[in-house]
Amino acid sequence: FKNAEAPHIRYLSEAECRQLVAACEPDFREIVRAALLTGCRYGELCRMGVASYNVEVCTVSILQSKSGKRRHVALNDEGRALFDEMTIDKKPIDLIFTREDGSQWGHAHQHRRMQAASAVAGISPAVRFHDLRHTYASLLAMNGTELQVIAEALGHASTVVTRRHYAHLAPSYVADQVRAKLPQFGFEKSNVRRLTSGAHEAR
- For the stretch 55-92, pLDDT in tens is 999 999 998 666 667 899 999 999 999 999 999 999 99
**Cβ atoms of 64 and 115 closer than 8 Å:** no
Instruction: Please give the pLDDT value at position 200.
Output: 46
Whether pLDDT at 122 is above 70: yes
Q: Which amino acid is at 39?
A: G
Whether pLDDT at 174 is above 90: no
Confidence (pTM): 0.79
Q: Mean pLDDT across the chain, nearest whole number?
A: 86
Q: Which amino acid is at 147?
A: L
State mean pLDDT over 162-170. Answer: 83
| Residues 6 or more apart in contact with residue 121 via CB below 8 angstroms | 16, 19, 20, 22, 23
Three-state DSSP class for residue 166: helix
Question: Phi-psi region for residue 156, left (φ > 0), alpha (ψ -120 to 50) or beta?
Answer: beta
Percent of the chain with pLDDT over 70: 82
State mean pLDDT over 124-138. Answer: 96
State mean pLDDT over 17-35. Answer: 97
